[in-house]
Amino acid sequence: MTWQRPENCEFILHSTVGDGYGDIYGPRQQVMPAGAASEFAPVGGRSCSGQFPYFKLEWQSQGVVLAIGWPGQWAASFTRDSGMGLRVQAGQELTHFKLAPREEVRTPLIVLQFWKGDAMAAQNVWRKWMMEHNLPRPLGPQMAVCTSNSHGLFGISEENQRQWLARYLEEDMKPEYWWVDLGWFEVDLTKNVNVFNARYDPDPVRFPNGLWPFSDYLHSLGIKLIAWFEPEHYYPGPGNWIVENRPEWLLKAPPGHEAEINQGLPLKNRVVLNLGNPEALKWVTDNVDRVIKEQGIDLYRHDFNIEPLIFWRGNDAEDRQGITENKYVSGFLAYFDGLLQRHPGMLIDNCASGGRRNDVESLRRSVPLLRSDSWGEPVSQQCQTYGLMNWIPFWGTGIVYSNPAWVSYHFRSQLGVHYTNCWDLTIRDFPYDLHRKLLGQWREIAPYFMKDYYPLTLYSTNRDVWMAWQYDQPESGEGAVMAFRRENCIYEGARLKLKGLESQARYTVKNLDTNESQTISGQELLEKGLYIAISEIPGSAVITYKKMN
């Protein structure tokens, strides 16, 4: 498509860094003068790896939001001509194939949202559209607990999971979900190879009766079970059923690439299940459906820790370039659809080494409970929230122990609607009263995270600045401001001009740390700004507001 601009302005292209590389989810902006060109494509075949398939094009207080729904190797180019025009092309990166009679393929989903007026208002229209017409249900504030950071990936057992759960209940921090990550299934650790059990049968030593007894106990407490799977990616070896019995379902990398590092490990002996093969797709859908039912799993966590592009293109014929990927992507989406048909109301957590496959098509079927495998460090987490909230209203991340003096700062730097608590509660000498207070604050403000979002400061990775943003629920006239004073910032206070309020209304404004309230007019909050003081270095503040009747 080509857009034309007037003479008195220039095109501005807004893009976002993808997961896994550099400044994750950092917003980018570039002016597009005559002759300029920018091209984008993810790294290795997962849609959000390195690049992000969401863009905004702006000119003279109008523009278009463009998103690519393709959980594979997409490409987009923005090219200015010598006059007033800018051409946009987007789709599957490589398609040069012939089709057999009655053979079907599909194209990527392309979403265009045209807008005029305020650019941030347009961004919030996008967020509302994502919430109301795309993201699956049910959604709401969710806390999960995962112990793999303390027990190791293959150290979890029914015994230690029950012990940890008892401590969370003892400290009055009951979660909505209990998360068992990689390693609950049978695996032979005596061999120095990564051999995962393709059938996902629970480990008979650590879970002698399967996951069901623990799941049943969780359900009696009103807690749901999350369990990790990675059914697209396998390591051949003794005991791996699918490798031994159905090798024709597997995609191998082309010869000569065995030593090539892919997602941190050599490609040697690693294979990918060909979801474009109808038999393979049926088997994996039936098998995972069986395990979900047998083990009492409530939320299915789907991981994918390999870059698949080399497997797709290495299995294409010369006159069928791109066909393996096209069939695979269709199969992947059909796999999620099949599970959801069999388990209505079940959420799917779509993890691909963190957040590397969160395009629109994937998010119509799943949610990202871990937005990135890069988590924990507060400044980077603030930056991830700042950029990602423009596009995806619902996501999660993990929270671990930190310097006790920085607990509030670390906790708030990582908050989303969902978060996974990795605190080691076997440590009893810790400020759990503060933890409970922070949890209560999160539950109070988390519903606002899915409403309108406004950055209140410039984006920055520097450690000598403030960063702040606002969540606004316009239908009720309430919301929250989150502000952060980073560790090298000399400024104790900041005045932040709020957005989206009614200038003629009056608002009750409350600091959740001090419980101090004041009444401020909407006009003052919009024009003069809200003054926030943070004495701690680093420090944070959460301010709520509500329109008075």
Residue (of 143, 141, 132, 45) closest to 364 by Cα position: 132
Q: Which pLDDT value is given to residue 415?
A: 94
Q: What is the model's pLDDT at position 98?
A: 96
What mean pLDDT value characterizes the chain? Answer: 94
Record: fold of 449-547 = Immunoglobulin-like (2.60.40)
What pLDDT does residue 403 have? 66
Q: Is 60 exceeded by the pLDDT of residue 275?
A: yes
Give Cβ neighbours of residue 437 (< 8 Å, ≥ 6 apart).
none
Question: Could you give the CA distance from residue 295 to residue 158 in angstroms, rounded to a whole number?
Answer: 13
Residue pair 144/110 in contact by the 8 Å Cβ criterion: no
**Rounded to whole angstroms, how far apart are CA atoms 415 and 393?**
12
Residue 191 binned pLDDT confidence (cut-offs 50, 70, 90): low
Residue 237's pLDDT band, with cuts at 50, 70 and 90, is low
At 264 the pLDDT is: 86
pLDDT digits (tens, 9 = 90+) for 206-219: 999 999 999 999 99
pLDDT for residue 351:
94
pLDDT of 401 = 65
Share of the chain above pLDDT 70, in %: 96
Can you give the pLDDT at residue 239? 67
> Omega of the bond prior to 431 within 30 degrees of 0, cis?
no
- Supply 8's token pair: 């008195």
pLDDT at 30 over 60: yes
**pLDDT for residue 192 is more than 60:** no
The two structure tokens encoding residue 23 = 């400044």
CA 18 to chain centre: 11
Query: For residue 6, what are the contacts with CB-CB under 8 A and spacing of at least 6?
Result: 59, 60, 84
**Residues of CATH 2.60.40.1180 domain(s) within the chain?**
449-547
- What would the mean pLDDT of 31-56 be, rounded to a whole number? 98
pLDDT at 426: 84
CA distance 381 to 354: 13
Of 207, 200, 270, the residue nearest 231 (C-alpha): 200
DSSP 509: E
489 has a pLDDT exceeding 80: yes
Q: Does residue 543 surpass a pLDDT of 90?
A: yes
Q: What is the pLDDT of residue 188?
A: 64
- The single residue listed with the structure tokens 């009893």 is 428
Q: Please state which of the ranges 35-49, 237-251, 314-328 shows the lowest mean pLDDT.
A: 237-251
**Helix (H), strand (E), coil (C) string for 374-387:** CCCCHHHHHHHHHH
Mean pLDDT lowest among 250-254, 374-378, 469-473:
374-378
- Segment among 63-77, 229-243, 294-308, 464-478 with least mean pLDDT: 229-243
Q: Is the pLDDT of residue 436 over 50?
A: yes
- The stretch 160-177 carries a mean pLDDT of 94
The model's pLDDT over 90-106, given as tens digits with 9 standing for 90+, comes to: 999 999 999 999 999 99
Confidence of residue 405 (pLDDT cuts 50, 70, 90): confident
More confident residue, 139 or 220: 220
198 pLDDT tier (thresholds 50, 70, 90): confident
Q: What is the DSSP string of 58-116?
A: EETTEEEEEEEE-SS-EEEEEEE-SSSEEEEEEEES--EE---TT----PPEEEEEEEE
**pLDDT score at 269:** 83
Task: Give the whole-angstrom CA distance, residue 147 versus residue 69.
Answer: 33
Residue 511: pLDDT above 70?
yes
pLDDT(293) > 60: yes
Mean pLDDT of 534-545: 97
The set of residues, in sequence order, having a beta carbon less than 8 Å from that of 313 and lying 6+ positions away, is 94, 321, 322, 324, 325
Strand 62-69 relative to strand 74-80, pairing: unpaired
SS3 463: coil
